[in-house]
């Protein structure tokens, strides 16, 4: 809807009303059409101001409408009617002007923004392009290079940058609507011809072809198979080379392809999934809306290794006071230097002062006595972590939340070592912790809803995609990773190379394949875990038992590489070879290929031809199958939680929506059939045995993903 009011006698004030972000639903579009017509036909009105209620101009087209039959007036003629008006129309931009919201503003003759407003054309992140004239008007207004940057990245700009780019005409620190009304009165009666952006020629750009070629190459590289960024470049090219009307036709043509694409569905699902995980719930019935978080002003980090340093930076950048504790003096000094460096670099990038004075460093755990929350990030050793938790319980003031950053240990066990297990949760950050978006908040059977709410709120403040999950081995992300990596090892045994497996996964859209990832994170990490699980036998054992452990198929390949001192990038040798320690350039290693041949010969394995499809099906379906187990066990509340974890922390291509969404797109019956096929071929691999939830979903007619909850009978947990 849109409200209409006359202000200052001759200004028509149109207010978009669709909380919370005034999205351009059918009713809002109808409201705009009606009120603009009314203003233009009223002889007492000399100018028009369009604003949004509750301090938000407009969050763009209503994304919820995209999946349905769209009715109501279309955006393009509506914006055209505004641009062609014979009275000045001024957009008063507060809060956000995004997507269709900014396109609406670009149709206005003038734009006044509040200094705190953000503007952008983020359609690309929804698998679309700015198809209400945005791809044609923005380059005409600010030039091709700047428009390409905004439209292909979807980034939001501040009002100050928008002013600098020429997107807005004025920025105010005061009441935006008042400023816009005053401005509208001052320009009433002036010729509007120079203000209609669609009539502008696109600013001349030397060597246009070379520019588009360069941008297209860059976009293709970073898109990892996403089609919308490429369509965005093509649309801007149309703006730069064609008259406006033809450019608009091209914009529509490109949009028609994107609008119905699976990628757009996946990306729009991700948008809503990211918001849905904030509405967490636990098997006990505790929920986000009934659990009150505690205020956290002061936090502590225990252990300043790589993870502890990143967490310290993330907390300080969020505005908290931080006590950073490291008992080893040398390590403390190194950490102090590293943390300061990270804070300084981050502050420089964001144009703010570094938060150095928010951190107090100490060698003494007693220093954390008055903090509201502690994050323990000491070495991954259960005895050490237990000792730290006992010390913290004795030192901290009553009610302090105790969080562990463990990635593999049992959160319940640590909680049981404290007198107040209800105050214990896992906060599983991902390295580097100040950069990576994902945070798994792990609750145990005795974690209080208040503790979970506090950790979730802190994660949100830190700008993390925070997902509440139950406690189990590997939580959600690493638990699903295990069968994925396992399949990759088996594929090597059967005839694949690391290069082949990685290429298939990278073509699917992962930033790096499983073996490149393993080299980056260090092969010794998994080796240590497997040793702890009693799986490693020196020399890989021999005879029939060599490839069987604990009654199931096992590949000792990773262990054997570690025995050769091949730990990945840090040792210049792993699944690939590297020129220097830490180098990111993975080169094929003939040694590895000979090693694989010798290994197969020793174990009587005959290499066969393996294609990309098999790599994808075996690795991805095994991972997805584990996702179904996780849902069945009640460890994740819904498929959205799993998908947000994989998209935010494990490099799953966003335009494929996350593993559970992908399974839904492929078709659950197909995933089931392929798992059955592979399990028949490899009966000694339990991870390939289809999960009963997957069978139940298929038997229920494969409902759409938002209705899986009806089949996951009840949220129960193994806790
Ligand atoms: C920055 C925000 C605006 C606000 O952030 P914040 O304050 O943190 O709040 P959130 O939690 O994010 O959001 C609050 C709730 O609001 C919901 N929300 C937000 N934005 C929208 C929206 N645009 N539509 C619907 N709902 C929205 C959000 O989900 C929250 O609710 P809940 O918690 O989930 O219940 C931030 O929200 C934000 O960034 N929003 C998104 C901004 C954005 O991406 N905008 C672009 C939208 S796409 C667009 O505008 C496209 C325009 C082009 C024209 C489209 C024309 C379509 C028809 C063409 C058809 C042609 C093809 C024909 C095919 C054929 O031939 O058949």
User: pLDDT tens-digit profile of 186-228?
Assistant: 999 999 999 999 999 999 989 999 999 999 999 999 999 999 9
Torsions phi, psi of 537, nearest 5? -120, 120
Secondary structure element (H or E) that encloses residue 692, with its range:
helix 692-699
pLDDT tens digits, 336-394: 999 999 999 999 998 899 999 999 999 999 999 999 999 999 998 899 999 999 999 99
Cα separation, 716 vs 719, whole angstroms = 9
pLDDT tens digits, 624-638: 999 999 999 999 999
Question: How wide is the angle at C-alpha 687 spanned by C-alphas 683 and 692, nearest 5°?
Answer: 95
Task: Tell me the best of 16, 56, 63, 77 to mutate to test the pocket of ligand 1, counting ligand atoms within 8 Å of each CB and taking the most.
Answer: 63
CB 11 within 8 A of CB 48: yes
Residue 710 annotated as catalytic: no
Could you tell me the pLDDT band of residue 532, with boundaries at 50, 70 and 90?
confident
Cα separation, 624 vs 487, whole angstroms = 12
pLDDT tens digits, 114-134: 999 999 999 999 999 999 999
What average pLDDT does range 262-285 have in this prediction?
96
* 578 DSSP β-pair partners: none
CB 96 within 8 A of CB 162: no
Could you tell me the pLDDT band of residue 540, with boundaries at 50, 70 and 90?
low
What average pLDDT does range 670-682 have in this prediction?
98
Burial of 542 (0-12, 13-18, 19+ CB in 10 A): exposed
Residue 12 token pair = 């028509």
- The atom number, within ligand 1, closest to the CA of 64 reads 25
**By percentage, how much of the chain surpasses pLDDT 70?**
98
> What is the CA(267)–ligand 1 centre distance, in A?
12
Query: Does pLDDT of 150 surpass 90?
Result: yes
> What is the CA(532)–ligand 1 centre distance, in A?
47
Q: How large is the greatest C-alpha to C-alpha distance in the chain, in angstroms?
A: 95
Could you tell me the pLDDT band of residue 509, with boundaries at 50, 70 and 90?
very high
Cα separation, 640 vs 651, whole angstroms = 16
How many C-beta atoms lie closer than 10 Å to residue 30's C-beta?
A: 16
pLDDT tens digits, 435-494: 999 999 999 999 999 999 999 999 999 999 999 999 999 999 999 999 999 999 999 999
**Does 100 contact ligand 1 (Cβ within 6 A)?**
yes
**Does 259 contact ligand 1 (Cβ within 6 A)?**
yes
What average pLDDT does range 541-550 have in this prediction?
78
Of residues 313, 283, 278, 255, the one with CA closest to residue 128: 255
pLDDT tens digits, 11-57: 999 999 999 999 999 999 999 999 999 999 999 999 999 999 999 99
CA distances from 635 to 280, 292, 512, 671, 692 (A): 12, 22, 27, 22, 16
- The atom number, within ligand 1, closest to the CA of 259 reads 62
Cα separation, 678 vs 32, whole angstroms = 57
Residue 616 token pair = 């994808």
Least confident of 247-261, 267-281, 540-554, 590-604: 540-554
What dihedral angle (degrees, nearest 10) is formed by the CA atoms of 166, 169, 174, 179? -160
Strands 359-362, 321-325: pairing is parallel
H helical segments located in 224-243? 228-241
Cα separation, 296 vs 294, whole angstroms = 6
Task: Tell me the best of 60, 127, 156 to mutate to test the pocket of ligand 1, counting ligand atoms within 8 Å of each CB and taking the most.
Answer: 60
- DSSP readout, 467-514? EEEE--TTTTHHHHHHHHHHHHHHHHHHT--HHHHHHHHHHHT-SS-H
Nearby residues of 102 by Cβ (< 8 Å), 6 or more positions away:
60, 119, 120, 121, 130, 134, 167
pLDDT tens digits, 290-317: 999 999 999 999 999 999 999 999 999 9
> What is the CA(61)–ligand 1 centre distance, in A?
6
Nearby residues of 551 by Cβ (< 8 Å), 6 or more positions away:
none
Q: What is the pLDDT of residue 541?
A: 66
Query: Does pLDDT of 156 surpass 60?
Result: yes
Average pLDDT, rounded, for the chain: 95
Could you tell me the pLDDT band of residue 667, with boundaries at 50, 70 and 90?
very high
Distance in Å from the first CA to the final CA of the chain: 48
Bond before 212 cis per omega within 30 degrees = no
Nearby residues of 377 by Cβ (< 8 Å), 6 or more positions away:
301, 302, 303, 304, 305, 307, 308, 311, 405
Residue 103 annotated as catalytic: yes
**Does 595 contact ligand 1 (Cβ within 6 A)?**
no
* 170 DSSP β-pair partners: 112
ipTM of the complex: 0.97
Phi-psi region of 302 (alpha: psi -120 to 50; beta: other; left: phi over 0): beta
Cα separation, 495 vs 139, whole angstroms = 51
**Does 657 contact ligand 1 (Cβ within 6 A)?**
no
Query: Does pLDDT of 328 surpass 80?
Result: yes
**Does 255 contact ligand 1 (Cβ within 6 A)?**
yes
> What is the CA(139)–ligand 1 centre distance, in A?
23
Which residue's CA is the closest to the ligand 1 atom numbered 38? 59
Cα separation, 661 vs 614, whole angstroms = 20
What average pLDDT does range 1-9 have in this prediction?
96
Could you tell me the pLDDT band of residue 715, with boundaries at 50, 70 and 90?
very low
Give this prediction's pTM.
0.95
Side-chain half-sphere exposure of 595, counting CA atoms within 13 A: 19
**Does 615 contact ligand 1 (Cβ within 6 A)?**
no
Q: What is the pLDDT of residue 52?
A: 98
CB 702 within 8 A of CB 628: no
* 3 DSSP β-pair partners: 15
Of residues 396, 404, 392, 372, the one with CA closest to residue 294: 372
> What is the CA(247)–ligand 1 centre distance, in A?
24
CB 17 within 8 A of CB 1: yes
CB 212 within 8 A of CB 233: yes
Which residue out of 9, 37, 94, 103 is catalytically annotated?
103
Cα separation, 192 vs 53, whole angstroms = 27
Q: What is the pLDDT of residue 191?
A: 96
- The atom number, within ligand 1, closest to the CA of 121 reads 46
CA distances from 617 to 142, 263, 620 (A): 46, 19, 5
Q: What is the pLDDT of residue 25?
A: 97
Q: What is the pLDDT of residue 550?
A: 86
Cα separation, 621 vs 628, whole angstroms = 10
């Amino acid at each position: 809807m849109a409200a209409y009011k006359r202000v200052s006698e001759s200004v028509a004030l149109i207010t978009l009303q669709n909380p919370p972000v005034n999205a351009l639903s059918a009713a809002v579009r109808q409201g705009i059409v009606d009120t603009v017509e009314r203003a233009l036909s009223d002889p007492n009105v000399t100018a028009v101001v369009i604003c949004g209620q509750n301090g938000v101009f407009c969050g763009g087209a209503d994304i919820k409408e995209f999946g349905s039959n769209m009715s109501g007036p279309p955006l393009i003629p509506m914006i055209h009617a505004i641009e062609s008006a014979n009275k000045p129309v001024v957009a008063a931009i507060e809060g956000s002007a995004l997507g269709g919201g900014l396109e609406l503003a670009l149709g206005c003759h003038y734009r006044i923004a509040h200094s705190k407003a953000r503007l952008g054309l983020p359609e690309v992140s929804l698998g679309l392009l700015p198809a209400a004239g945005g791809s044609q008007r923005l380059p005409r207004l600010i030039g091709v290079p700047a428009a390409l940057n905004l439209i292909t990245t979807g980034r939001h700009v501040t009002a100050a940058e928008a002013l600098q780019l020429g997107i807005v005409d004025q920025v105010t620190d005061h009441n935006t609507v008042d400023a816009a009304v005053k401005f509208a009165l001052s320009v009433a009666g002036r010729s509007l011809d120079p203000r209609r952006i669609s009539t502008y020629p696109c600013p001349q750009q030397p060597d246009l072809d070379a520019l588009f070629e360069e941008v297209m190459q860059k976009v293709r590289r970073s898109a990892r198979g996403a089609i919308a960024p490429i369509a965005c470049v093509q649309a801007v090219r149309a703006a730069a080379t064609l008259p406006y009307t033809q450019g608009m036709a091209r914009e529509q043509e490109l949009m028609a392809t994107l609008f119905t694409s699976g990628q757009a569905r996946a990306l729009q699902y991700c948008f809503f999934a990211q918001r849905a995980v904030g509405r967490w719930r636990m098997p006990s019935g505790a929920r986000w809306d009934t659990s009150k978080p505690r205020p956290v002003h002061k936090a502590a980090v225990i252990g300043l290794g790589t993870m502890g340093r990143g967490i310290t930076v993330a907390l300080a950048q969020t505005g908290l006071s931080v006590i950073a504790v490291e008992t080893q003096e040398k390590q403390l000094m190194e950490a102090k230097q590293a943390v300061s460096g990270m804070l300084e670099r981050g502050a420089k990038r964001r144009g703010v002062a570094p938060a150095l004075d928010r951190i107090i460093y100490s060698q003494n755990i007693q220093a954390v006595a008055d903090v509201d929350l502690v994050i323990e990030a000491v070495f991954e050793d259960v005895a050490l972590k237990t000792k730290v938790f006992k010390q913290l319980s004795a030192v901290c003031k009553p009610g302090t939340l105790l969080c562990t950053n463990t990635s593999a240990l049992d959160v319940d066990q640590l909680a049981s070592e404290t007198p107040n297990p209800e105050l214990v949760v896992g906060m599983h950050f991902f390295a580097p912790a100040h950069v990576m978006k994902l945070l798994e908040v792990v609750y145990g059977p005795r974690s209080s809803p208040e503790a979970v709410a506090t950790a979730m709120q802190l994660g949100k403040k830190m700008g993390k995609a925070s997902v509440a999950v139950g406690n189990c081995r590997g939580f959600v992300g690493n638990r699903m990773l295990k069968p994925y990596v396992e399949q990759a090892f088996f594929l090597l045994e059967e005839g694949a190379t690391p290069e082949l497996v990685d290429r298939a996964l990278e073509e699917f859209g992962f930033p790096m394949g499983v073996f490149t990832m393993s080299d980056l994170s260090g092969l010794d990490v998994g080796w240590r875990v497997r040793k702890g699980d009693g799986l490693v036998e020196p020399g890989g054992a021999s005879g029939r038992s060599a490839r069987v452990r604990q009654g199931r198929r096992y590949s000792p390949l990773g262990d054997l590489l570690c025995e050769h001192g091949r730990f990945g990038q840090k040792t210049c040798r792993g699944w690939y070879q590297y020129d220097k320690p830490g180098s990111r350039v993975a080169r094929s290693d003939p040694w590895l290929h000979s090693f694989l041949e010798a290994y197969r010969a020793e174990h009587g394995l005959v290499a066969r031809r393996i294609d990309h499809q098999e790599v994808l099906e075996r690795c991805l379906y095994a991972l997805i199958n584990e996702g179904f187990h996780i849902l069945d066990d009640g460890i994740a509340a819904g498929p959205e939680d799993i998908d947000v974890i994989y998209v935010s922390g494990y490099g799953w291509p966003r335009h494929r929506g996350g593993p559970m969404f992908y399974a839904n797109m492929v078709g659950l019956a197909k995933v089931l059939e392929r798992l059955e096929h592979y399990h028949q071929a490899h009966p000694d691999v339990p991870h390939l045995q289809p999960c009963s939830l997957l069978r139940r979903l298929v038997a229920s007619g494969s409902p759409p993903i938002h209705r899986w909850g009806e089949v996951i009978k009840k949220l129960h947990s193994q806790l």
